[in-house]
Structure 1
């Protein structure tokens, strides 16, 4: 949350302490907060203490006491693990208590308490550092992009040091700026002092202001400086012994750095030699490695052969970074490894049995995967882009602005065409100028800064992201153009020469965009205590000259200086436009990010997520944020929001059932979202191997031409005509826990799997239907039938009851009305809809016992998600079973419910073209056929091979193989 004026902090913190002391007896209300603020100001003799000061302090405290965090969920494998973390183990702790007090000065006791509980849980999943004998624990913590993972692992570092871990290595990204940023955070949260070039403790900061006792000063082998990483010169001067305080190393994932660190460990820390291999081993000092952005560079992208007996090839040579991390772990006989990431897919693809003599086991999180809950004020993909529903994408925020003028139509030219080389000169319509959309984005940033100033956030950091190319040479050209444009704005606004056109543009943007958008966002997202007042234009205009004059332009090229600018401008707040590429896309936090201009093209699930720097916390200014990007990227981020939500729901369901990380790994690997991660990380050169077991797939992209639509209608007619008389027809009645549900349409039971596979083969899926590839579905059904005797007997239903025209299928079965699904007007090349299925449809084949079992499983695994609450109202417990529970109940059974892995569910939908939207279908009258298919959960592990076009693979290699 925004930090108040420093003069108000003593008042706020004293009032918070008084409120917490009376929480149980009096309660915390806005009135109680106002009373304690005035009392604290009086006790501290703060003068003058005006109404504006009181309002600001009250607002901060209302925010602190209204935010909360949900419960983490965990998959774990306790083989070889001994539970150990009990209260007695924590009585002499020093590092965590001071970090806890440091956090309580900035956030509520509830949020800090949730972090305490979360980090206790993660530490407990590691091994007791005082346990003798060799042990090895490897886990993964999955958070949201920009959601506070650093704060979580800072807490884990503090507790690990308290518990007795002696060497703590934090792997902090690939570049100096991120390593330095992480170093600075850990100085504030763990070390308690600023590191100096000679590695001696500098001035106290952060937790050091709470407890600066030199007796607990941790040692640190790295510094915040650009050249502060571990190196050979540093290694010469360090020695370590078990009696010393913990040692912290904040290092890049760099071959030279990690090689020097490994060499130092073997030469100066190891105390034993392995008689079998000759390896030098550390037996007296327990190791903890924290791997930040664990899916980046840490994963071995080399192909290791696993024989038929499951034995790995010991001659395999892993990629450099992966091999060095494993070798460092392998040099200790007592070690724990915890990866942190928001995009765990590459980590899940690591083979469970990969191991070599020199490097030891691979980094698969075999011990645990923890899914962190997001705080209530987190703005993530689901909140930004919404989730897919029958009426389209719902619940998103109106912050996206379409960008298309960076290219010249369909020509491979323009200011920043998708494919360009390192010498590309950015030119708009042949001129050395910015495209209008980027000028507007810069205007938007200036207006956001002005509005934040008028809301009392003028001393907070504010950032704009421009991410358009990976080439540093092209970034420099963009920097020059942006700098020239901003300098021109400064001249016109401050000197008021030739200023009329610019002021008119800014005024029009404020009145036509900001005023209505702020009102709409305020109705969708209401954070208690926030000031979302919308200033009038004269006030904005008066604030603009100073705001624009303060804007700095920077290219992010990986140096530590980039990360230090925020700390150097702490008193006044840094207003910066950051221009960068890959170095900007990973891990680096852009403080106060409010405007993004983003046109880089990639379809990798994890790459897009990591490039989403605009996710995070936007207290008091989320309504001022803007994302200028392309139509295609908005669509892909929508896919990401849906898939991420689906996988988290599946994770919670599997955690409730006691599944292990290995089982979840198999689930993620088969998830049918195209291009979930780099093919190199997927260990595959020519194909994807997919399983659809436990999945729900539905067609949401359709052709517009009659030829292929008629082909799909014919496929549906052929299937319906072959099935004979329906087992049930309208009204189809289902009793659901005393509530009667009615379905309109027809339903057939025991339909042969071959008939369903024939339908999939005859159906032509749209190339933009990234999850639904009908030919693959046909192959999967046939594979399951022959290899595991599953999916042999289907339920098929035609869902009707819409307001469209009636239609008679082959066999004489007439639906009373085709369904309405409105087209997304953003896509001209296809008929694109929201969701095809109504959520209740997927359970149409379940009897009451199975439905009740699925609902019970849903409730058991459900937890309120604070990141999805609206206006402070927490979600109610679900009254319908969710998809994963339905598919598990069908395929694997439940108490009193037999398993039926042979029974798939195919739902056919006839959509009325006349109700698709104006001018989508001008002459068509026959319905458009869509389908949903619900595959029962299965343990068979059957997959189908998906051959990918060679050109796509080449594009993947370009996306991942090139560097800046």
Structure 2
């Protein structure tokens, strides 16, 4: 037998062996390979040596064999069932330990293990973060539940048609499984209604996740699926088409009719055979059909003939529908419904007509963009028994009609959902689970447009390579725009240049897959008003007509922008894609670019109504679009602008949720990540407010990441049980800017947090008082400690090896006993004591109860030059003061200098040693650090006398602290809460 013949035989027998392992559990490979070779009559050298030779050859069979193993190893690496008796108990998913356990069960030789580890490294990225009630496992327990049909088909579609890598497909499966396993068992005798929330990122693939959830849920037995597809026709239609193409499939769509009668007869992907196929009607192949009750063009309509379309047939009429003998043969019903009161009222009315069956139908309700329209915004405490908002009322009716309904909300902006009152049982609070999806690979989110860690990228050291802001963000000069649209003209020029680069890559780069640049778009978003859109379209058309892109002047302008902006960024960030080395290399493609954009004399599409999509003008699914899109509300949520490369954004919003949803420049940008540019308003004045939109997005990002990080902390089990349930997770949503609320005020509820444990973390309270008497009180508490510090400053340095950067702080330092510091902290006055109280509870715990801190190193940073000094205390000693303003009046923003933090974090044990002797002499395991910052606000700076004296009532004694990194308290819990009524532990944490 030749090596090629043996490789083909190995591929066949390994595929049969791996896919034939019972319940997908790894088993001794040599035994099961020999068994399958014998069963199929295959003659093959099945030794591991032959396998190693096969996968290292550069052949089609070798690549297929390696891909097969990648899929199965990825699945085993990520298996999460660690319960007693499970094959993977004793090893954590996504770890080297899990991979080793898999190899042990397979009985592989050391050489084979090394080869597979090198070729298929363990993916150690964290999976979805889950906050959950305890639940009764039913997935994979005993006999597999249901009919595996739609999930395997969807999995193959993602891999083979969409070309997703195995790791990404495994991520979708993992995240979908975390949802489905927390739904009620559809065959359970007792009805249970679970409610959950899945939190993704804006334009990051949430639809893929809930498509996977639907596939797994219908396979398990859910027979009515209601998808709430947004508040706009275009969004509902998008979702319907996506589900039809990737889940429902051609056979279920046609149901015996001819191709030309399909509602997708003119759809490009339908004609290109990209809709999923089942090789026949599933019910004729041992599975079950999916019957659509809505189509792409038609929302839910009242059904005639006694609502028979909703009456799901029962094979065994004496048994309830949820009995497996009925479920496994019944067709599933799918509807994608707009969040509209009239439409939902029709559905509720029709369901009532089959009331006798409603208690038997396992139902799944998917609510896309669940923070929009679905949330009840009527506060019952303020309005008594006031009626619910319209959509929320219909959702409540649906849930009351369907006792076996499972509600799963999806959103990228969860703030409104977490503020729902959990004690309102008719509402949609995620009482059972809250799942935060991982940030997907290749996704460009708000983090990618900001430099969020000033320690890593100080402003004076930023380059196109290390600074996201420099690479991708351009400021709109408000004064210039009002005169002659300079920034808008430059953004349009960049749109043309990036179009030319895409055509250059299509032509010159063999690695660019076909249709990578099917769409190329620019988004202009200044206002939600249609009258403004008309005026703005006129401005853009005028700029386009005057552009002269084929003239010498136009080329000179493009050359300057190419050489100063596009070329240097792409050289650093093109990620292997072709970059023209000069403008001369790019110039031949400029004409083709302008022809694609404006060859029809209409480079602009205004999208401010459903008709723009329904007419096909802005329908990305039906045609290639290279245009400037101008719009407002219709482009603010859910609608995906394909090929978006240049964004021009000046639209203000009053809350973080709305603002994040307007960030259409977030998403996947494979093949043109280096070309993305964002022009955004900076320091624009509205009334008495200065609105920096870019700063606003940065603030939202910090809040969002903080929220996700805390969810990750809460998700760690303690003694095998959840630390907290969803109802005990307070809305830990901060507000960094006075003009940017987390969500609209009518969706916000208050929560009280008793304790926050922050070992080794930099913490900066900001709610300092404004009253002179309170300020004098605080200065009086801290001054004795300041006066004890030595007069000579110590110089601390910290050098980061990975970036070869040194940070320095000169400071007066001295160790103070922990109980002395706690006495001061406990006596401070605050503008809002609730902000510091949770931290104080933790500091009391590690000082008085668990005794995990001995002392605090008090550090008073001093300016190098002896300027900005004030005299404090009876000793009349001078100390440096800092000019920091209340950014969120009356709250401060950041107080400390980022360069001060590294050495102090090291002293508290939060960073490794960098070898600085001055720093290391103060390091103790049970020592924390407090940095004191006397602040004189700008309005009080003139009150400082020439000899440095000032009324203490005009000094804010601010501080930051880092508790010892080992001071974790008496248990592994991260937070401790209080509730309204401690006898009802699952109620919300609402302060009265």
Which bin holds the TM-score, normalised by the shorter protein?
Answer: 0.5 to 0.7
Structure 1 residues 671 and 36, CA, compared in 2 at 3 Å: closer, same or farther? same
Structure 1 residues 136 and 206, CA, compared in 2 at 3 Å: closer, same or farther? farther
- 1:722 deviates by 3.0
- 1:81 deviates by 4.0
CA contact (8 A) 2:54 2:62 kept: no
Q: Distance in 2 between matches of 1:678 and 1:667?
A: 11
- 1:337 deviates by 0.9
Partner of 1:593: 644
CA contact (8 A) 1:85 1:124 kept: no
- 1:376 deviates by 2.5
Match of residue 505, structure 2, among 455, 468, 472:
455
Q: Does 1:111 align with 2:168?
A: yes
Q: Distance in 2 between matches of 1:270 and 1:354?
A: 24
Q: Distance in 2 between matches of 1:237 and 1:534?
A: 63
- 1:161 deviates by 1.3
Partner of 2:605: 554
Q: Distance in 2 between matches of 1:692 and 1:469?
A: 43
Partner of 1:436: 486
Q: How does 1:473-488 map to 2 (within 5 A)?
A: 473-487=531-545
Structure 1 residues 67 and 571, CA, compared in 2 at 3 Å: closer, same or farther? farther
CA contact (8 A) 1:166 1:242 kept: no
Structure 1 residues 670 and 561, CA, compared in 2 at 3 Å: closer, same or farther? closer
What secondary structure, in the 3-state scheme, does the structure 2 residue paired with 1:577 have? strand
CA contact (8 A) 1:292 1:340 kept: yes
- 1:934 deviates by 6.2
CA contact (8 A) 2:607 2:635 kept: yes
Match of residue 446, structure 2, among 375, 381, 384:
381
Partner of 2:311: 240
Structure 1 residues 402 and 163, CA, compared in 2 at 3 Å: closer, same or farther? same
What secondary structure, in the 3-state scheme, does the structure 1 residue paired with 2:819 have? strand
Q: How does 1:159-178 map to 2 (within 5 A)?
A: 159-178=216-235
Match of residue 340, structure 2, among 242, 246, 254:
254
Partner of 1:219: 291
Query: Which segment is superposed worse, 94-103 or 379-388?
Result: 379-388
Structure 1 residues 812 and 90, CA, compared in 2 at 3 Å: closer, same or farther? farther
CA contact (8 A) 1:805 1:912 kept: no
What secondary structure, in the 3-state scheme, does the structure 1 residue paired with 2:745 have? coil
What secondary structure, in the 3-state scheme, does the structure 1 residue paired with 2:577 have? coil
What secondary structure, in the 3-state scheme, does the structure 1 residue paired with 2:535 have? helix
- Cα deviation 1:384-442 (Å, max 9, x = unaligned): 2132334657753524444444458xxxxxx7xxxxxxxxxxxx44xxxx712111111
Q: Distance in 1 between matches of 2:247 and 2:422?
A: 33
Structure 1 residues 345 and 620, CA, compared in 2 at 3 Å: closer, same or farther? same
Q: Does 1:541 align with 2:609?
A: no
Query: Which segment is superposed worse, 502-511 or 294-303?
Result: 502-511
Q: How does 1:598-609 map to 2 (within 5 A)?
A: 598-609=649-660
What secondary structure, in the 3-state scheme, does the structure 2 residue paired with 1:653 have? helix
What secondary structure, in the 3-state scheme, does the structure 2 residue paired with 1:939 have? strand
Partner of 2:139: 84
Q: Does 1:502 align with 2:554?
A: yes
Partner of 1:265: 351
Partner of 1:776: 832
- 1:716 deviates by 7.9
Partner of 1:932: 960
Structure 1 residues 28 and 154, CA, compared in 2 at 3 Å: closer, same or farther? farther
- 1:211 deviates by 4.0
Partner of 1:660: 724
- Cα deviation 1:526-559 (Å, max 9, x = unaligned): 4xxx415245312322212222222242222242
- Cα deviation 1:299-350 (Å, max 9, x = unaligned): 11100239xxxxx97x442111111112112111111111111111110000
- Cα deviation 1:469-521 (Å, max 9, x = unaligned): 011222233233324433554xx44xx5xx23222212211111111222343
What secondary structure, in the 3-state scheme, does the structure 2 residue paired with 1:168 have? strand
Partner of 1:513: 565
RMSD: 5.2
Structure 1 residues 95 and 260, CA, compared in 2 at 3 Å: closer, same or farther? same
Q: Does 1:300 align with 2:376?
A: yes
- Cα deviation 1:170-226 (Å, max 9, x = unaligned): 11111111111111111111111396999967566545236453535411111212x
CA contact (8 A) 1:141 1:371 kept: yes
- 1:295 deviates by 1.1
Partner of 2:437: 372
CA contact (8 A) 2:881 2:936 kept: yes
- 1:25 deviates by 3.8
CA contact (8 A) 2:858 2:932 kept: yes
Q: Distance in 2 between matches of 1:30 and 1:800?
A: 62
Structure 1 residues 584 and 820, CA, compared in 2 at 3 Å: closer, same or farther? same
Structure 1 residues 715 and 531, CA, compared in 2 at 3 Å: closer, same or farther? farther
* TM-score of the aligned structures, taking structure 2 as reference length: 0.65
Structure 1 residues 126 and 519, CA, compared in 2 at 3 Å: closer, same or farther? same
Partner of 1:10: none
Q: Distance in 2 between matches of 1:289 and 1:322?
A: 14
Q: Distance in 1 between matches of 2:210 and 2:61?
A: 35
Partner of 1:907: 931
Q: How does 1:642-657 map to 2 (within 5 A)?
A: 642-657=702-717
Structure 1 residues 929 and 78, CA, compared in 2 at 3 Å: closer, same or farther? closer
In our comparison, the structure showing a higher alpha carbon Rg is 2
Q: How does 1:456-471 map to 2 (within 5 A)?
A: 456=506, 459-471=517-529
Partner of 1:771: none
Query: Which segment is superposed worse, 20-29 or 531-540?
Result: 20-29
- 1:909 deviates by 4.1
CA contact (8 A) 1:904 1:934 kept: yes
Partner of 1:841: 904
Structure 1 residues 177 and 404, CA, compared in 2 at 3 Å: closer, same or farther? same
* TM-score of the aligned structures, taking structure 1 as reference length: 0.67
Q: Distance in 1 between matches of 2:369 and 2:343?
A: 17
Structure with greater contact order relative to length (CA < 8 Å, sep ≥ 6): 1
- 1:785 deviates by 8.3
Q: Does 1:750 align with 2:819?
A: yes
CA contact (8 A) 1:74 1:368 kept: no
CA contact (8 A) 2:215 2:247 kept: yes
CA contact (8 A) 2:375 2:416 kept: yes
CA contact (8 A) 2:655 2:744 kept: no
Structure 1 residues 249 and 569, CA, compared in 2 at 3 Å: closer, same or farther? closer
Q: Distance in 2 between matches of 1:454 and 1:782?
A: 59
